[in-house]
Structure 1
Amino acid sequence: MMIFQMPGPTATSDWATIAWIIISLFWILLLFTDILDRSRIIRYDRFVRVKLMYIEKLIKEAREDSERFLKELGVKDPKNVIDGFIGNNFVIEPVSIEPVDIIKRMSHLLRTRDSKIKAYVNSIMPDNIDNVKKTNFMVLLEINWILDFYYRYIRHLYLYSRKYKLWLYLIQLSMVLPVVIKELEAVRKAVEPFSKGVPVGDSAGPMVVSLLAPASERILIEEETVYSKIDFEGRNLYLIKAEGPGGTVGRPGEALAKLVEELQGKVARIITVDAALKLEGERSGSVAEGVGAAIGDPGPEKIAMERVAAKYNIPLDAVIIKMSSREAITEMTKEIYEGVLKAAERVKEIIRTKVSPGSNVIVVGVGNTIGVK
Structure 2
Amino acid sequence: TNNFYLYLQLSMVVPMVLEVARIYKRATKQFLMGVPVGDGIGPLVAVNLLKGAKMEEVEDETEYGEVQFEGRRVLVVKAKGPGATVGKPGKAIAKLVEMNGGRVARIITVDAALKLEGEKTGTVAEGVGAAIGDPGPEKYAIEDVATRFRIPLDAVIVKQSEEEAITAMKKSIADSVPVVIESLTKIIQERTNPGDIVVVAGIGNTAGIP
Give yes or no for TM over 0.5.
yes
- TM-score band w.r.t. shorter chain: over 0.9
1:333 aligns with 2:170: yes
TM-score of the superposed pair, with normalisation by structure 1 = 0.55
Distance 2:90 2:52 in 1: 24
Answer with 335-344 or 246-255: which moved more: 335-344
Asked if structure 2 preserves the Cα contact closer than 8 Å seen for 1:206 and 1:365, the reply is yes
Distance 1:239 1:184 in 2: 35
**Which amino acid in the other structure matches residue 121 of structure 2?**
S
Q: Which structure's relative contact order is higher, taking Cα pairs within 8 Å and 6+ residues apart?
A: 2
**Which amino acid in the other structure matches residue 289 of structure 1?**
E
Matched residues, percent identical? 52
Asked if structure 2 preserves the Cα contact closer than 8 Å seen for 1:285 and 1:340, the reply is no
User: Which residue, 145, 161, 164 being the options, matches 1:324?
Assistant: 161
* Offset from partner CA, 1:103-154 (integer Å, 9 cap, x none): xxxxxxxxxxxxxxxxxxxxxxxxxxxxxxxxxxxxxxxxxxxxxxxxxxxx
| Residue 263 to residue 207, structure 1, CA distance change in 2 (3 Å) | same
Q: Which residue of 2 aligns with 1:277?
A: 114
Answer with 205-214 or 181-190: which moved more: 181-190
Q: Which residue of 1 aligns with 2:189?
A: 352
Name stretches of at least 5 consecutive residues in structure 2 with no aligned partner: none
Q: Which residue of 2 aligns with 1:186?
A: 23
* Offset from partner CA, 1:303-352 (integer Å, 9 cap, x none): 11111001111000011000011110111111011122311221111111
Q: Which residue of 2 aligns with 1:219?
A: 56
Kindly report which structure 2 residues correspond to 1:223-238, keeping only aligned pairs within 5 A, or say none.
223-238=60-75
- The structural deviation recorded for 1:179 is 2.5
Please state whether the residue corresponding to 2:175 is helix, strand or coil: helix
Distance 1:169 1:185 in 2: 24
TM-score of the superposed pair, with normalisation by structure 2 = 0.96
Q: Which residue of 2 aligns with 1:254?
A: 91
1:205 aligns with 2:47: no
**Which amino acid in the other structure matches residue 190 of structure 2?**
T
Distance 1:217 1:166 in 2: 64
Q: Which residue of 1 aligns with 2:144?
A: 307
More strand by share: 2
- The structural deviation recorded for 1:182 is 2.4
| Residue 340 to residue 179, structure 1, CA distance change in 2 (3 Å) | farther
Q: Which residue of 2 aligns with 1:44?
A: none
Q: Which residue of 2 aligns with 1:24?
A: none
Asked if structure 2 preserves the Cα contact closer than 8 Å seen for 1:230 and 1:238, the reply is yes
1:177 aligns with 2:14: yes
- The structural deviation recorded for 1:232 is 1.0
Kindly report which structure 2 residues correspond to 1:72-91, keeping only aligned pairs within 5 A, or say none.
none
**Which amino acid in the other structure matches residue 363 of structure 1?**
V
Distance 1:218 1:207 in 2: 14
**Which amino acid in the other structure matches residue 347 of structure 1?**
L
Please state whether the residue corresponding to 1:191 is helix, strand or coil: helix
Q: Which residue of 2 aligns with 1:45?
A: none
Distance 1:186 1:342 in 2: 28
- The structural deviation recorded for 1:192 is 2.7
Moved over 6 A (4+): none
In our comparison, the structure showing a higher alpha carbon Rg is 1
Q: Which residue of 2 aligns with 1:112?
A: none
Asked if structure 2 preserves the Cα contact closer than 8 Å seen for 1:183 and 1:325, the reply is no
Distance 2:85 2:70 in 1: 31
Kindly report which structure 2 residues correspond to 1:1-373, keeping only aligned pairs within 5 A, or say none.
162=1, 165-373=2-210
